[in-house]
Every structure is written in structure tokens, then in C-alpha cells.
Structure 1
Amino acid sequence: MSKKKFIQRDISWLSFNARVLQEANDPSVSLKQRIRFLGIFSNNTDEFFRVRVATLKRMVEYSAKRKALNMHMEEHPQKVLDEIHTIVLQQQNEFNRIWEGILEELKQEKIFLVDESHLNDEQLAFVKKYFDDTVRVNVIPLMIESLPQMPYLRDKSIYLGVVMRKKNSAYQQKYALIEVPAKAVGRFVLLPSKNNEKNIMLLEDVIRVNLPNIFSLFEYDYFSAHVFKVTKDAEIDIDNDVSTTFVEKIEKGLKNRRKGKPVRFVYDKEMDAGLLEYLIRRLNLNRKSNIIPGGRIHNFRHFMDFPDVFSHNTEKRKPFTHPALANSLRVTDVIVKQDIILNFPYHSFNTVIDFLREAAIDPDVRSIKITAYRLAPKSKIINALINAARNGKEVVVMLELKARFDEEANLEWKKVLEEEEGIKVLLGVPRMKIHAKLCIIKKRIKNKIIQYGFVSTGNLNEDTAKVYGDMCLFTANRNVMADINRIFRYLENWKLGTTPLKACKSLLVCPTNMRNEINALINKEIKNAKAGKKAGITLKLNSLSDVLLIEKLYDAAAAGVKIQLIVRGIFCAKMDFGKMSKYAKAISIVDEYLEHARVMIFENENKPKIYLSSADWMVRNLDHRVEAAIPVLDEHLKQEIIDIINIQLSDNVKARILDSELLNEYVPHTGKKLIRSQIETYFYLHKKTQQQIEISSN
């Protein structure tokens, strides 16, 4: 990407993660939430290294193929990696500063993180018993000096590097590794406490206490142990062996991922220098391996589930039933009569589950077809589909095996659905992800076929629906249903080509017509602006990095089109380029819920065209995925979306200004009413429900 016209994608993403760090530093946010944001920041950083840094390292390694890998990247990837390294170190220092401040605030609430050197006799006895009863069976010490090859280190685990010797001799010391079994046991241990105190110990410190016990065979009397972790390349290479099935390729790719090259080594800066040098050498790390010194605690992502020991818990806003469904026994009866939009997490996701459960037991339902990208671990969606199959319905599930980090879970769901329940499972299209969120249900009443379903911006996952802001449009519109049928026809027979996708008339679909339709919609706004008519484009996205569409927005601004952008994450447009600073406004909202919905609004001469979409404005979404955007046709629903987007555009509490300098400055609120859009949206939607209940009761 030209530096003059665009912000480099990965640098922009780090700026988003800095906004997450801002939330952890915000004193108006509860302590529990601030700790959670530190966990989110840590998890985001890990994933960034696994995917983006790993990709850049591959590009350095295969520099001859660099243009083929990323045609828009003019900067050399090593230069980007160097800039990333600098920013990440700065962010890690800020992280450490924020965490130190939070520790002080925890002490004021009588909440203490206790390490192995601050246990009283009762706590020491408790920790030793807890280790013997719960932890010991999950601890496998590795004497690494005696192993010809360095043992396989898990990507998402933390390890204790142990040094042991006799106190009266610096010689004859041994090194060992212990994987901290946080997944099996849990990271946090609540200790016996008095005087209204809450004492919490981390699992690695429990292990530290018991090192003499673990290594009693050697009769050492000195032990030191420090945490480190290795982040690995998470890309899955799909080989071209025609003799293997797609499932076998994914399984092989997952095994190879476990052997991925290290892209980052993070360690406790207090680690024994000899052990550190030994680990770096045995892991074949070098100066360019992102060797990052840190504090005592790593894998902070576990802190997203920090124990609920806080005295000042604010009551969480609870999701509520959509007003159109408040007095209806069946979701289906409402949807066949009118379109409705569920706004998660404000509206209850139970409606989606009820919708599928109704279809599962409805004797008139003949078939259910649905796409699944990321499912909850104990998915109620899957349970409803299994129930439908057992009740004799034809069930077709498009299960995306290439959903990054969900590959293993989706392979397990495939086994359950296909092998145990006999459900037809579609596994996607080579070199393309199925990211569209679609469902269509077909029922026959006498001789009449009725079809209804939904198109969503988010995953069918009841867990993430509690914290992800998404929109799901339920409809029985015939044109929409015809297009969903066309998409499934393609998914079931992709070898015959994309003709069914090209035939879609109502939905905007990737990779066939969405890009061209968006261009046409922008061109119309440009034409109207040049003719002196009202012209505007409002977009709500997760990411905006597609160079061609960004240039199209530059053209629109140059023509005088009013542009309003709400972009949570990657934002590669330069707001000081051309006339963007005059005609465009861009903000990012980071708050309690993850803003995940994609909405496109085109002014269209005072007759707004509005779409809800699963696709971000990125090359991968528009050209290499199957995506769907649904037009909102009902005028009341259009107004509801416009109202919600306007609330977000008015946010002056959690909105940051997106600019070319990546300053992440908050939108100023001097002299204005404070508007925190997620709170205002909750009240806006909740008020509609209350009004509907009052109308019904009268």
C-alpha cells in the first residue's frame, strides 16, 4: 500500500489493540472489566503474532513471491516487522504500567494476588494439599538437557523453566520444563482468607511451591522457576495431494500447525540468564524471532475469566425478547407475516434457538438448510438440528472447516452430525471460506410451499451472542429465499461453477456481485452529489482495508458525498487524503460489547438503500469468501437501523476518532450530553419492547 494514500494494515490493527488497552486504563470501567480488557488485549496480541506476523515472516522468507502474496503491499515486509516490534514493545510497557495500577486498586478492595513467598501456614498447607489432590496428576516435568530433541511446546500454553542445584554449588545444576496445566485445572486458586480478604494464587505459583516435592529424586535444595511461552505460525497449509480427502487435508494441516515455526518468544525478564540462553539456542531462535522480555505473568488471556471476587459488581443488563415476539407463542408465526431484526446482545439469542426448535418439531417442515462458521462448545443450534433430523426433516449444514482456530471443533461437529446423526454436512469450497450466515426453512401446508429464514451479520453461537453486537434479519421474502436457495445450490454443487451465485437478484453475494454492486451504489451517490442532490454513504464495519473501495470512497469525498464511517478494527483509509477531511467522519467504538455488525447505508435521493452484511471491506471477504448482504426493505426496520447508527455516530464516551496519525483520541464531549452508544441502544430497543407490551395489554 502506498504510504501516502493508505495506512499499512497491520499497523492499523495494532492501533485497534491500543484502543482495547485504553479501555483497561479507563477508571470509569469496573475493575473486573478492566482486567477482562487486559485479557482481551493479550489474546488479540497472541492471535496477531500467530497469523499476521507469521504471514509477514513467510513473505520475508519467500520474498520472490511477495507480490503474489499481497499485491497491494509496497513496503518491504521486514520493514513492517521492525515497526511492529517497536509498537508491540511500547504497548507491552503500557500494559505492564496499567496492570501495576490495577494491582494497587485490587489491594484497596482487599483482593490480593499471592505468590509462593507470601503464604501463611494455613495457606501453605492448603496449597500443598491442592497440588497433591488436583494438580500433580497433570504435571509432567521434562528434563530437557537429557533429551536429544527439544520437546514439542504447545502454542497456547505457558511453561515454567526450572533451574535446580545445591545451594553451596553453582555447578551441577539441571534444567527442566513444566507445562502449566491451566486448561485442565484452571489458572486461579482461591486461598483460605481472613478479615474479608480475598487471596488468589496463580497455578504456576502453586507449582513453584511444590518444586522440591516434584524433583525430590535429585535432592536439590535450590530452585528457581520462571514463566515463558512460545507463539507459533498458525497458518494451515492445504496440500494438493489429490489422493487425500479435504477432511484429511485439514487434519494434516492441524498436525503441521502444531509444528509451526516460533514467531515470538516471551519470557519473565527475571529468568536465569543461563536457562534463557539455553532455551533460545534449543528453540533455534535468533535476533529476528521477536524475543520479548516481560513480567512474571504470561498468557494473560486467562484473566478474561478472573474470579468474581469483587464487592462492587454492577448488575449486567439482561437481553430481552424482541417486541414483535413478546406476546407470540411461536416465532415462526410472526416471521411469515413480517420481517424482524434481532439486535444482539440486546435482544435474546434464545429466539434463534426457539426458531430452529419449532422447525424441528413442526410436522409441516420438510427441510432446514443452514451455514455454520463458529459454534458454541455445547451448541444448542446443533441440538435443534439433530432433533430436526431425528424427526424426519432433511437437514443440510454447511460447516466451514477452515474457520481459523475452530477447525478441530468443527471436525468434531462434522463427526457428530454426519456419522452419528446422518445429517448432510457440506464442507465448503476449495480456496474459499463460507462466511455467509444463512438459514432457510421449507414447509409444505397442504399443496403450498412456504419458505422463511434469516441472514445474519454474526455467527450462530449463543455464547458469543452475549457479547458480540450483531444484527439478524428474519424474513419470508420470496426473492431473498430464492437467493438463499441459489447459494445452497452452489454450495452443494460448487464443481459446476458460480452460475447460481451470479443469478442472485436480491442478495449481494461474494465473490460474484457484491463488489460491483457496492461500486455502483457509490457511483450513484457521486453522480447525485455532482448534480447538487443530497448524497451520503454511512458504513459500519469491522475492517476497512480493501484498496479499491477505499479509493472509491476518496472519489466520493472528492465529489462532495458526505461519508460517515464506524469501523471497529483495521482502518486503512487516510482521513487527510484528498477531501476526506472535509466530507468524511470516521470513528471506532470499543466498549463492553464487541461491535461486529456490518451495515451499509446509501442515501439514494432520500430513499435510503440499507444492507446488513457478513462481509467486511477486505480483499479476503469480497474476493475469496462466500458472503451475503441482505437489503432491508421494511420502512420501519430501515428507520430503526438509521436510529441505531445515528446513536453510534453521536457517541462521545467510547468513540475514538480515526485519523491518519493513529492517535486514538476520544471524540470530545465538551458542553454536550454524554452519549455512550451501547447504553443508549439498549434503552432505545428496550423502550420499543415496553411500548409493545403496553399496547398489547391495553
Structure 2
Amino acid sequence: MAAKINTIPRDISWLSFNARVLQEANDHTVPLSSRIKFLGIHSNNQDEFYRVRVATLFRMQNIIKKNVKAAMHLEYAAGKILEDIQQIVLQQQNEFNRIWKSINQELKDHNIFIITENELSDTQKKFVENYYDEIVSPNLIPLMIESIPEMPYLRDKSIYLGVVMQKKASAYDKKFALIEIPVKGVGTRFVQLPEENGKQYIMLLEDVIRHNLPHIFSFFGFDEYKAHVFKVTKDAEFDIDNDVSTTYAQKIEKGIKKRREGRPVRFIYDKEMDASLLAYLMGRLNLTWKDNIIPGSRIHNFRHFTDFPNIIPNSSPVKESYLHPDLDDGMRVTDVIFKKDVMLHFPYHSFNPIIDMLREAAIDPSVETIKITCYRLASNSKIVNALINAVRNGKAVSVFLELRARFDEEANLYWKEVLEQEGVKVLTGLDNMKVHAKLCVIKKRVDTKKRVYYGFVSTGNLNEKTARFYGDHCLLTSNVTIMNEANRIFNFLEKPQLGTAIFSKNKAIIPSPVYIRQTIVNNIQAEIKNAKAKKIAKIYLKVNSLSDDAIIQLLYKAAEAGVEIKMVVRGIFCAKFDKVKAPLKPYTVSIVDEYLEHARVMAFHNDGKPKVYISSADIMVRNLDHRIEAACLISNPAIKKEIIDMLNIEFADNVKARILDSHLQNKYVPQNDNEIIQSQIEKYNYLAEKKLSSPYHNRFDEKHLPQIIKTKKDKSPAKKTLKKASSKIKATAKPKKVTPVKKSKPGTKNTK
């Protein structure tokens, strides 16, 4: 038996994913406005990484166990990973700064200038001072921190100006002040100044404040001011107490308040900060140089740059979602679902049919009940509005609202109150298990005795905002088996004492804990058996994360046995498939592009009778063992084929696909002489054309994956870049047929 192949630490793997996001910011074939947004996404990702994963590693270091050796090993492992994280983050920070410097120069080439308080003309000074008085000042609370016994609470999503005030005549007479940059109160971090001579000027909010420091602190009599930005990232975890006298919602509220007291896990500061101020802040925050103290540039919290003003010319237009062709003939969504299954692929397809289905149910006199799970909702949720309308029309509506959806806890507490006030039955909280399944079951009366069910199973959240840029699948169905088994999950959520054993007979809706893992294991083992019997054996997987060691080890065995394995993994990828001695190396890539690849799909050859599942669960311990998830076995042949086609489009990507290996190199898939394929463009075309056949279609019963049809590259001037092709696509509610465009290589591929 071959020696066990180890895995990549999940946190190091995640940093490799964020490096892929940074690659997009560095890709000159990506529109400049999108590259700026990718810097914002990278920054926001890193913030959450420190709040959750780094905080967890700090906790691991502090664990005390009876088994001293185990505890020492755990502490050492966590410490080593923290050291690696610090090194990788500093490297990425240097690359980030280099990319931003390059992008800033490109903005200048477009006559867009981001200026500081030291670069203002007299006209601009007057504008900035008026803007401060009218807009900024009412939202500002300067704090003289030296006179405050306890350090003020610092929000970990905010940025602060640390101010040093002194008199030029004396270097010893210094005072420190603290100002939170009021981005939320003002509404933006970007202040657009009046245009001058065809040039557009932008000033960051902190620089508006910097310019006005002498005005803010005028009564102190200082004549010299220095101000530098810093930010603190805190442990975002909180513990749920065991107080039986409080409700679950009250426990969540307590936990949110405790989060405010979370330990700082990172301190980022402007490397030009006054040394005495830096020492003072570290002392007040109980930080040492052994903590994650990261020197940075003048600008922090680039997450706000996802909202950079829309003033950059030649930005690529957003491709509009279009209505699924089966829903495009004026029929009610409900009526279509009772005739056939419909698979929506977001963001290519419109999210509106989900809302329409709920709105129709709300006013349908024969609908009796609506049951639905909600994990993350839009801020102005049309889903909630439809559910409230259903209650007002006499329907019994039950919503399982996961209050522990990380960073959405407060929002979900708010929705809980709104829904309950309207008469919705809101279920919250299972001991030690989040509910992450995406399900809806609607019960409809056909006659006095007969009841029928319809609804959906999805891989993504019920959030109409994120559905515009998250890639997900949602099956609308009235399939009796699927709906009965989905309803069984709701029965469990209403009466957890029934236990998960009630799912043992599920065939179409496979839940976790227990059963999704068991299903994956059984299917992999079946492919191994077929491979050893010299039969065709294939496994196709698409997930956000692959970190479960037991599944990875089984996939290693499958590859060694000769099973063809192809995978698309967006984020965490802990496997070392390149180390496996296999007749056919697994093909594993990550795709980072305009849309967030969020769907989870599993396909198994099954000796010529393919099994295809869509799922809410990633292949991680937490999803398989500690959450309520749902995977749906697809029985409709046309939909099954469509999903496999889309997987093959992704496997063919040679523009945005990066090879995943044990070295974390993030090398792009080589293009060689093949047709250039950017999968998100191709999927848009594929679905718009409503293809019944495709060069990407994999007849899953053949021994080898058919090769993509090779064609000569079109070198005409009109077809120079893939991005220009995408901008020409004009979608309507009923899209005209569009022909996929074959493109020459982007001329700047070497930037990747």
C-alpha cells in the first residue's frame, strides 16, 4: 500500500486563492474599473481571513489539554502556520502595493487623479472645506485618547486617523487624538472634486479630514499636525452561552456584543506613522511586535474600492441576465413547474422567477403552506416581502432563519423581528449545527383531499443582489420524491428530536450531517471498483472548498486506481494530486473571473448511468459533519446533460483557469494552439443559444473526454480580445442567438 500523501494546510491554501484574486487585479485584459474592484475584494477577503481563521489559530495556541504532548503539537502547528501566514501576507501586500501604483498611473492616463490634502488648488481647498462643514463634520467624533482612562472601542471594519499635534517651538509638547473615518455616515469614501481642465479629481475622505485638522483642533493652539491611517482586525468568533433562561436569539445578541470585545489579531498602520504614536497605540491595545503588526501604505481598507466611482471610460458593460427560455412564454412560473423541471443558472439566468414563484404562491387561494430556509438575505429583500404578503393572504409560512450566518447575524436578527411581527413562524438555531441548506417547499391543495408540493433546491443564497454576480444552480421542481424528501428536512428542523435517522431512506435529497459524506464515499468507492474492473470510471467535482482529509485520501486512491478525476475548486484546495502516482493525473483548476463561482456539483460515471448532484455543501468537515446541508440528485436527463456540458466548458477554460498543485503556483492553464476559451463567456453564450448539442458535451459513457473542436485562430482586428467579444453581447428578456466568438490570445497574458 502506497504511503499516505499529506495535504496542504487549509489556511495556506486559502491565501493562495486570495493570490488568484490579486492576479485579476494585475490582468491588463480585465477592465480597469474591475481591476480596482478586485483589489477591494482581495482586501475584504483578507480582513475576514484574519477575523476568522487567524483568530482561530491564536485560540489554538492557547488551548490547554490534559494530553500535554498533543497540546504542544497543536500549539507548534498553529504557531508555524501563523509564521507562514505572516510571510505570505507581507509578500502579497508588496504585490498589492505594486499593482495599486500601476493602476493609479493608468487612472492618470485617463485624466483621473486621486489627490491628497497637499495637492489641492485654491478652488479645491474651498470646495473641500465646505464639504467638510456640510457633510463630514456632523458625522465626526474626535477623541483625545490620552485623557480617556480606557481605550475607546475600535470597530474592526473601520479605519482611523491617529493624529499627532504639537507646536513647532517644542518637540516635547505632543498630544494624540483619534478620529474614526465616518464612511457609513457620509455614504462614501470617495469625494469627487470639481472637474478642472478636463481632469477629474477624487479625494479620499480621510484626506478631507486631514486638510481640516487645524480647524477641528483649533482651540488647542497647536500649529503642526501629522495624521496617519491605521486599522485593527479583531477575533470575530463568539461563544454561545448555556444560560437556559435566555432565548436563542438573545444568546446570539449577547455573542454579537461579546464580539466587540474580541482580541485584536492584526494591526495595520501607515509605515510613515509617528513612532511615538505607534508605540502609544500598541501599548493601549496590548499588542507586541510578535503579533500581526503589518506596516502598510498610506491607504488602508481597500474593501471600499469595490464602490469606486463609475467615472472610468471604456469599462466593460455588465452582461444582463436573461429569462430562462422555459419561462419566457407568459405562463406563470408555478404552472411551468408543474409541467417540467426548470434549472436556473445564475447569474446568466434572471433571479426573478424565484421571487415570482413566491409572489404567485402568496396570492394563490389553493396554496396552504410555504416552508423556506434563509441564510443570507438582501438588504431590501423581495423574498421577505413575498413571504409577508403570503401571511397576509392567509398562508402558513415557516422560515428557518440561520442566526449564526457569519457577519450576517445582526441582519438576520432584524429579519427575524420583521417576519415575526407579520405572523411568520420563524425557526432559529439547532445545537452545534448551522442550517446551510437552500430549500423551499410549497403545499398546494388540488381538491378537498389531494395536496401537491412544489418548490426549489439551490446551491446559493436567497439573495437577489448577490445572484447578479454569484454563479449558482437552482432547480425549480414539483418532483414528488424531491419535494417529499425536502419536506422531511423541514420536519426535522421543526422537531430536531426526531433525529437525523429519518433521512436514512432519502434517495433524491441527500442531507448532511452523515448522509452527504456517505453518498460521496459510496460513489467514489463505486468508481474505484469500476476502474479496477477495467470499466470506465469518472468523477467530476465543482466546489468552493476541498479540505476534508478523509475524502481527499479516498480521491487519491481513486486516481491511483485509474479513475478519471476532473475538478473546479474556487477557493481552499488542500489536495496534492500532482504527488499521486496515477495512470491519469487528476485535472484540477480554479476559475476566478467576473462572477464568483459558487455552485457545488458532483458527477459520477456510475458505469454508464451517471449520477449528478447539485449541493449546498462544500467538501469540508464543517459542511459534511456539522451543518444541515442538502444535495439533490438530478433525474431530468436534459438538465443532467446541461450541467455536465457546463462542467466541461469550465474544464476547457484556458483564460481564467489556474492549475492547482502542491506548490501553490497559480499558473494559468496553457493555451498552446487550442481555441481560446473563457468559460464564463462561453456559458453565457451556451445558455443564451439554448443549445441541444455542443462541442463541450461529454457523452459520459465514452472512455475519454472528447477534445474541444480545434479551429484556426481568427486574427481579424475585430476579434482581438475576449473582453471585446463579451461587451458585444446584448441580452434581452428573450435573447437573440449569439455565436460564440473565437479569439486570439490577449496580448498581455504575460502579466499573469
TM-score range, shorter chain: over 0.9
Asked whether the equivalents of residues 59 and 66 of structure 1 are also in contact (C-alpha less than 8 Å), the reply is: no
Counterpart for residue 532 of structure 1? 534
Structure 1 residue 70: deviation in Å?
11
Asked if 1:28 is matched to 2:64, the reply is no
Out of 632, 635, 640, the position equivalent to 1:633 is 635
3-state secondary structure, aligned to 1:237: coil
> What residue identity is the alignment partner of 1:311?
P
Aligned residue for 1:235?
Answer: 237
What residue number does 1:335 align with? 337
2:478 equivalent to 1:476: yes
Q: Tell whether 2:104 aligns with 1:103.
A: yes
| Alpha-carbon distance, 1:581 to partner | 7.8
Could you tell me which of 315, 318, 332 is aligned with 1:316? 318
Contact 2:387–2:397 (8 Å) recurs in 1: yes
- In 1, distance between residues paired with 2:427 and 2:391? 15
Contact 1:502 1:512 in 2 (8 A): no
Alignment pair present for 1:169 and 2:170: yes
- CA distance in structure 1 between the aligned counterparts of 2:123 and 2:583, rounded to whole angstroms: 64
Cα deviation, 1:37-62, whole Å, max 9, x if unaligned, reads 00000000000000000000000011
Q: 1:119-147: per-residue Cα shift (whole Å, max 9, x none)? A: 11111111111111111011101101111
Q: Which amino acid letter does the alignment assign opposite residue 603 of structure 2?
A: I
* TM norm structure 2: 0.90
1:504-583 equivalences under 5 Å are 504-579=506-581, 582-583=584-585
Specify every segment of 5 or more residues in structure 2 that has no aligned partner in the other structure, as ranges.
Answer: 692-730, 738-752
Partner SS for 2:646: helix
**Deviation per residue, 1:32-87 (Å, 9 max, x gap):** 00000000000000000000000000000115389999999796100110010000
Deviates more, 1:66-75 or 1:548-557: 66-75
Q: In structure 2, what is the Cα distance between the partners aligned to 1:27 and 1:65?
A: 55
Deviation at 1:113, TM superposition (A): 0.4
Partner of 1:325: 327
Deviations 1:106-128 (A, max 9, x none): 00000100110011111111111
In 2: Cα distance, 1:480 partner to 1:422 partner: 28
Which residue of 2 is the match for residue 92 of structure 1? 93
C-alpha distance after superposition, 1:362-381 (max 9, x if no partner): 11111110000000000000
Matches within 5 A, 1:415-430: 415-418=417-420, 420-430=421-431
Per the TM alignment, residue 692 of structure 1 is displaced from its structure 2 partner at its CA by 12
Who is 1:141 aligned against?
142
Q: 1:619 to 1:160 in 2, by over 3 A?
A: same
**Residue in structure 1 matched with residue 246 of structure 2 by the alignment:** 244
Letter in structure 2 aligned against 1:31: L
Q: 1:682 aligns with which of 677, 681, 684?
A: 684
* Equivalent in the alignment of 2:495: 493
2:725 alignment counterpart: none
Say if 1:490 and 1:501, in contact at 8 Å, map to a contact too. no
Aligned pairs (5 A) from 1:48-87: 48-64=49-65, 76-87=77-88
Matched residue, 2:47? 46
Distance 1:408 1:99, change over 3 A: same
1:476-496 deviation line (CA, Å, top 9, x unaligned): 111111111110000001134
Contact 2:333 2:353 in 1 (8 A): yes
Q: Contact between 2:511 and 2:628, CA under 8 Å: does it hold in 1?
A: yes
In 2: Cα distance, 1:605 partner to 1:294 partner: 56
CA distance in 2, matches of 1:435, 1:74: 31
Name the SS for the 1:193 alignment partner: strand
Which one-letter code corresponds to 2:125 in the other structure? L
Native 8 Å contact 1:59 1:69 kept in 2:
no
Aligned position for 2:445: 444
What's the counterpart of residue 698 of structure 2? none
> What secondary structure does 1:336 align onto?
helix
Residue 505 of structure 1 and its aligned partner are, at CA, apart by 2.9
Instruction: Label 1:505 to 1:73 Cα distance change in 2 as closer, same or farther (>3 A).
Output: farther
Q: Aligned letter for 2:569?
A: V
Partner-residue secondary structure (3-state), 1:587:
strand
User: What is the match of residue 114 of structure 2?
Assistant: 113
Partner of 1:305: 307
Distance verdict in 2 for CA 1:581–1:291, change over 3 Å: farther
The CA distance in 2 between the partners of 1:509 and 1:310, in whole Å, is 47
Q: How far apart, CA to CA, are the structure 2 residues paired with 1:77 and 1:619?
A: 18
Contact 1:468 1:596 in 2 (8 A): yes
Mapped pair 1:264 → 2:252: no
- Cα distance change of structure 1 residues 40 and 63 upon mapping to structure 2, 3 Å threshold: farther
Code of the aligned partner of 1:452: Y
Partner SS, residue 171 of structure 2: coil
**CA distance 1:71–1:9, change in 2 (3 Å):** farther
1:671 has 2:673 as partner: yes
Kindly provide the amino acid, as one letter, of the partner of residue 442 in structure 1: K
Alpha-carbon distance, 1:644 to partner: 0.6
Question: Could you say what the CA RMSD is over the residues aligned between the two structures, in angstroms?
Answer: 2.1
In structure 1, the residue matched to 2:743 is: none
Following TM superposition, by how much is the alpha carbon of 1:517 offset from its aligned partner in structure 2, in angstroms? Answer: 1.4
Paired letter, 1:121 = D
What secondary structure does 1:683 align onto?
A: helix
Q: Secondary structure at the match of 1:482?
A: helix
Correspondence for 1:408: 410
Q: Is the 8 A contact 1:72 1:547 kept in 2?
A: no
Determine helix, strand or coil for the equivalent of 2:152: coil
Separation (CA, whole Å) in 1 of partners of 2:67 and 2:458: 35
Q: Is the 8 A contact 1:324 1:692 kept in 2?
A: no
Contact 1:501 1:512 in 2 (8 A): no
Change (3 A) 1:74 1:178: closer
Aligned with residue 228 of structure 2, among 226, 229, 235 = 226
Corresponding residue for 1:214?
216
- Report the secondary structure of 1:688's partner residue: coil
SS at match of 1:309: coil
My pick for the range that moved more, 631-640 or 646-655, is: 631-640
CA contact (8 A) 1:366 1:394 kept: yes
User: Match for 2:399 among 397, 400, 412?
Assistant: 397
- Deviation, structure 1 residue 3: 9.9
The answer (yes or no) to whether the contact 1:5–1:574 under 8 Å persists in 2 is yes
Q: How far apart in 1 are the matches of 2:253 and 2:427? A: 17
Q: Normalization by structure 1: what TM-score? A: 0.97
- For 1:578-657, list aligned pairs within 5 A: 578-579=580-581, 582-657=584-659
- Structure 2: which amino acid aligns with 1:177? L
- For structure 1, the 5+ residue unaligned runs are none
2:347 equivalent among 345, 348, 370: 345
Q: Could you give the per-residue CA deviations for residues 240-296 of structure 1, whole angstroms, max 9, x where no partner exists?
A: 222221111111100000110000000000110100011011110012220000000
Q: Is this contact kept in 2: 1:250–1:401, CA < 8 A?
A: yes
Change (3 A) 1:67 1:257: farther
Distance 1:285 1:362 in 2: 60
- How far off its partner does 1:5 sit? 1.4
1:79 maps to amino acid: K
What is the aligned residue count? 694
Name the SS of the counterpart of 1:92 in structure 2. helix
Q: Deviations over 1:120-176 (max 9, x none)?
A: 111111111111111101110110111111111111000000001112211211000
3-state DSSP of counterpart to 2:539: strand
SS at structure 1 position matched to 2:300: coil
Which one of the candidate residues 461, 464, 470 is aligned to 1:462?
A: 464
Distance 2:390 2:528 in 1: 49
